[in-house]
Amino acid sequence: MILRPYQHEAVEFLTSHERAFLEAPAGSGKTICAAVALSKCPVIGAKVYWLANTREQVDQATIALANVGVPAEVRCVASGLDLSDADAVVMDECHHYGATTWLSILQPALDRGAIVWGLSATPFGEDEERNTIIQRTFIHFGSISREEVMAGGHLVQGLVKFLDLDVAGRYDRELQAQLETEVTALCRRWRFVPEFEHRNRAQWKLTLEHLQTNHVRNAMIETLARDAMELGETVIVLVNTIRHGEQLSASIPDSVVLHSKLPKKIRKRHVDDLRSGKLRCVVATSLMDEGADFPIASTMILAVGGRSATKTIQRTGRVMRPYKDKEFGVIYDFVDRGLGFAYAQHRARKRTYQQLGYQIAR
């Protein structure tokens, strides 16, 4: 297997440390790096585990490990998974580490003194407690830069097109009235939960409901998807709920809804059809947020964005893989100035896009 120069450095970094975290952007081949690194470690013949979040990530890792001849158990993270016999563990999308399930699973391997490597494009997020846990666990941190990957032709430039459909504050008064009613009901039902927690959750819930039921906004999403498909583009529409996904897909010809609750065979067929070009549009839930490898995908529409920098980086990375005649990974995003809460989330995403070096247009 021929590695790129920065991949050689990443392999050397991993093999030099028993506790290591590799930060690597989409398109850098971090799965390949970790698989090759395992093949160079003295753990071959011992018990090796590779943990991932989705079935698609499991399949990618299984192929990479088979190509370098490393036998390993490749599993989705699930409570009850026993790593007490582990000699080496690779944790893909390891920014999730710190969550209760991940902590309980990995601790026996740490106690045993196993080699433990983490992989992610976004090691640190908004949760400082989780960031601290990651820093204490992995000790050594290495990275592959976006600039290196892009210079090597393995990542395309991002182009964000913002859609500004609303008058500032148009829906704020209506949402505020709903919010007060919702918070009052929650405080009566759950008296031991602080009011500010009820308020934060209720505000996001009501904002999400508004965005999902905004007919003008949904019509724009459907039009963007159809127009991109007519131009020969492959489109990913990201939604927060299955119900919203089904609603949008019903208005986008030749599209399908992709989510984790689909039967395994149907889900695999959709994934294979998307990868081959037979399917030109998927409307997907968080299943597509990270780790999915579809170089053919060139256009992403964020039906609901949120504010998380980690999710913004992970999601938009799905359309940054190079492919024939692809010059840009295009992201359609909404300004949502009609709701103050959603507009604040837009500004947070915009800052992330600027930090990533994406071009921004309206």
Read off the pLDDT of residues 146-155 as tens digits, 9 standing for 90 and up.
999 998 888 9
Same domain, 162 and 99: no
Same domain, 135 and 164: no
Same domain, 37 and 16: yes
Same domain, 50 and 105: yes
Query: Exposure of 16 by Cβ count < 10 A (0-12 exposed, 13-18 middle, 19+ buried)?
Result: exposed
Cα(280)–Cα(284) distance, integer angstroms: 13
Q: Structurally, how many domains does the chain consist of?
A: 2
Q: Which residue has the higher pLDDT, 322 or 293?
A: 322
Cα(60)–Cα(31) distance, integer angstroms: 8
Of 38-42, 215-219, 294-298, where does mean pLDDT reach its minimum?
Answer: 38-42
Q: Which residue has the higher pLDDT, 100 or 141?
A: 141
Range of the domain at 91: 5-144
Angle between helix 30-39 and 55-68 (nearest 10) = 40
- Give the per-residue pLDDT at 44: 54
Same domain, 227 and 318: yes
Express as a percent the part of the chain with pLDDT over 90. Answer: 75
Residue 103 confidence class, pLDDT cut points 50, 70, 90: confident
Minimal CA–CA distance to 135: which of 21, 30, 12? 21
284-314 confidence digits (pLDDT tens): 998 777 767 789 999 999 999 899 998 999 9
Q: Which residue has the higher pLDDT, 120 or 26?
A: 120
- Give the per-residue pLDDT at 160: 98
- Give the per-residue pLDDT at 2: 86
The mean pLDDT of the chain is 92
Q: Residue 43 pLDDT > 70, yes or no? A: no
Same domain, 122 and 165: no
Q: Residue 45 pLDDT > 70, yes or no? A: no
Same domain, 116 and 165: no
Q: Which residue has the higher pLDDT, 99 or 271?
A: 271
Q: Residue 94 pLDDT > 70, yes or no? A: yes
Q: Which residue has the higher pLDDT, 226 or 293?
A: 226
- Give the per-residue pLDDT at 100: 76
Q: Residue 60 pLDDT > 70, yes or no? A: yes
Residue 176 confidence class, pLDDT cut points 50, 70, 90: very high
Same domain, 165 and 305: yes
Residue 313 is part of a domain; what is its CATH number? 3.40.50.300
Same domain, 103 and 252: no
Same domain, 126 and 161: no
Q: Residue 180 pLDDT > 80, yes or no? A: yes
